[in-house]
Amino acid sequence: MKRKLLATLLAVAMTATLLAGCTQKATTTTETTKPAAPATTQASQEATTKATDSAAPVTLKVFSNLPDRKTGQGLVEQTMIDNYMKENKNVTITVEALDDAAYKTKFKAYSIEGMPDVVSIWGQPSFLDEVLAAGVLAPLNEADYKDYGFISGSLDGFKKDGVLYGLPRNSDIAAFYYNAKMFEDNGWKVPATYDELIALADTINAKGIAPVAMDGGDGWPLAVYLSDIMVKMNGTYSDIVTNAITKGDFSDPLFKQATDLLAKTAKAGLFQTGYDTQDYATAKNLFINGQAAMFYMGSWEASMALDTTIDEAIRTNIKAFTMPAVADGKGTTSICAWNGGGYAVSASSEVKDEATKFLNYMFKPENLSKIGWENGVGMSAQDETAFMTGSETALQKQFLDFLKNASNTSGTTVNDRGASAFKTSIESEIQSVCNGTVTSDKFLAAIGAASK
């Protein structure tokens, strides 16, 4: 009797665990103390029935690629979210934040089902082409943003066939951050020409310090460097690159020249030992711990000047300079700058109105641009002259000047101008051409093949 009971109990227990799992989704969401993002669209469906009534509770799901909510761009984003919730008591905003690679993977899953309402995007072909082909983003009314102060040309990368699908969040400039105190102590001068940069590398190496900390493990910083060289050599490269990608043919002499120079630079020891497999954090660490004299990265790292976890001696002495002029280069006053990151609204969002309202709120110049500027985060894609507080970090002022004094900008870097297969290929092959395993010609042939 007892044994039969045991057997039936076991069977019941098994089915119970199975069933419990099905209802677990609903119950665990109410158990967590933070407003956790429900995995299903059930919650937002409840909200849509009352979405039109602005006083009714609305839940907005924001999907972000900034996992660090305490510093830099992530802090800016979180601040705006918190402010919006304060001003609109009926709106609850839940945030899911993943680092770039995980973000892009999850984005693909979401593109099949369940895309959050407001998402981070990149206004570059490598990301946007596939996304728009899948019809994932909601079109925006460009006229709405006439008075938002967007810098001319910054919206271009976010449009397709004349329709706007997203708004740019940053204006990024590629630059060499340098440890000004180290330079001063050693009597080093900021190089005015590329040859001086190479010569400086020898001097710095002799001291046992890495000249430039480079995130070669990720590939894209090297591609940015290559683009930087190209714009310095030629003034512009948009048409040449687009042409090459469409035809799958990189035989234009500009590519070979630039690649050769890059390979020569790597061979001359400008980058730290092991740069081709070290990641972003490792490279940045070398710089902020005084093991490298310079750090080649985008303007978003200008917030280093305000990062209290960095030693004060270094933090207060970070300055920047853009790629020095290349001999016989036509682009002496051009800089490598682009509008990459941005936000968009999901086409399948159930609360599109509120989502668009939030998007517009973020981009009101007094929000994203102002808060970003005050937190020392690079530059937005909007006119920020109104937000000069007078207490900008020297670094911020420098970047503003770079942009102001540039005759033209390069636009999206080479690696992001094609499909993602091209992006993966060039970001991997560029490591090989830099460390000498592959010749420039083979590199160009490989990326040509990948862009077909």
Partner 1 sequence: MERLGNKKRPLSKSILWLILIVMAVIQIFPLIWLLDFSLASSNELFTSGLLIIPQKIQWGNYAKAFIDGNYLIYLKNSLLINTLAVVIVVLVSMMAAFACRRMHWKLNVPVKTILLLGMMIPISATLLPNYKIYSMLHMTDTIWALLIPYVAFSLPQGFFLMGSFMESIPVELEEAAVIDGCGIYRILFSVIAPLLKSSIATISIMTFLNNWNEFMMAKTYLSSLKWKTLPFAILDFTGEYSSNYAVQFAVMALAAAPAVIVYLILNKHITKGLAMGAVKG
Partner 2 sequence: MNKLYSNKLIIFSLVLPGLLLFVFAILAPIILSVYYGFMDYSGMGKAAAAFIGMDNYKNLMGDKAFWTSLRNSLLLAAGFICIQHPIAIGIAAVLDKLQGKAEGFFRCVYFIPNVISVAIIAYLWKFIYNPSFGLFNNILKLFGFAGKVNWLSADNAIWSVLLVLIWHGFGWGMLIYYTGIKNIDPVLYEAAAIDGADARTTFFRITLPLMKPVIQVNVTLAVIAALKQLETVYLLTNGGPGNSTQFMGNFLYQQAFQAGKYGYGNAIGVVFIAICLIATVLLNKVFAEKKSARRLKNGTAWE
Contacts to partner 1 by CB under 8 A: 3-4, 6-7, 10-11, 14, 17, 21, 24-25, 28, 32, 36-37, 39-40, 67-68, 71-72, 74, 96, 98-100, 102, 105-106, 109, 112-114, 280-281, 284-285, 288-291, 309, 311
Report the distance separating Cα 58 and Cα 73, nearest Å. 25
User: Could you say which of 262, 266, 438, 447 contacts partner 2 (CB under 8 A)?
Assistant: 438
Least distance from partner 1 to the Cβ atom of residue 298, Å: 12
Q: Residue 68 or residue 184: which is nearer to partner 1 going by CB? A: 68
Report the distance separating Cα 415 and Cα 425, nearest Å. 9
257 binds partner 2 (CB under 8 A): no
Q: Residue 164 or residue 210: which is nearer to partner 1 going by CB? A: 210
Other beta carbons within 10 angstroms of residue 91's beta carbon come to 21
Contacts with partner 2 in 199-238 (CB under 8 A)? 210, 216-217
Contact 103, 120 (CB under 8 A): yes
Contact 413, 336 (CB under 8 A): yes
Tell me the C-alpha to C-alpha distance, in Å, between residue 341 and each of 50, 121, 198, 410: 32, 6, 32, 16
Q: Residue 111 or residue 322: which is nearer to partner 2 going by CB? A: 111
17 binds partner 2 (CB under 8 A): no
Residue 205 interacts, among partner 1, partner 2, none and using kind-specific CB cut-offs from 5 to 8 Å, with none
Report the distance separating Cα 235 and Cα 229, nearest Å. 10
- The size of the chain, in residues, is 452
DSSP tag of 146: G
432 binds partner 2 (CB under 8 A): yes
7 binds partner 2 (CB under 8 A): no
Query: By rule CB under 8 A, what count of residues binds partner 2?
Result: 39
Contact 345, 118 (CB under 8 A): yes
420 binds partner 2 (CB under 8 A): yes
Report the distance separating Cα 137 and Cα 178, nearest Å. 39
Least distance from partner 1 to the Cβ atom of residue 68, Å: 4
Least distance from partner 2 to the Cβ atom of residue 419, Å: 7
Which residues have C-beta within 8 Å of that of residue 451, sequence separation ≥ 6? 244, 245, 246, 248, 418, 419, 421, 422, 425
Report the distance separating Cα 373 and Cα 147, nearest Å. 19
Residue 274 interacts, among partner 2, partner 1, none and using kind-specific CB cut-offs from 5 to 8 Å, with partner 2
Other beta carbons within 10 angstroms of residue 25's beta carbon come to 12
User: Could you say which of 20, 39, 133, 388 contacts partner 2 (CB under 8 A)?
Assistant: 133
Give the binding site for partner 2 (CB under 8 A). 101, 104-105, 107-108, 111-112, 130-131, 133-136, 210, 216-217, 272-274, 276-278, 282, 286, 291, 419-421, 423-425, 428-429, 431-432, 435-438
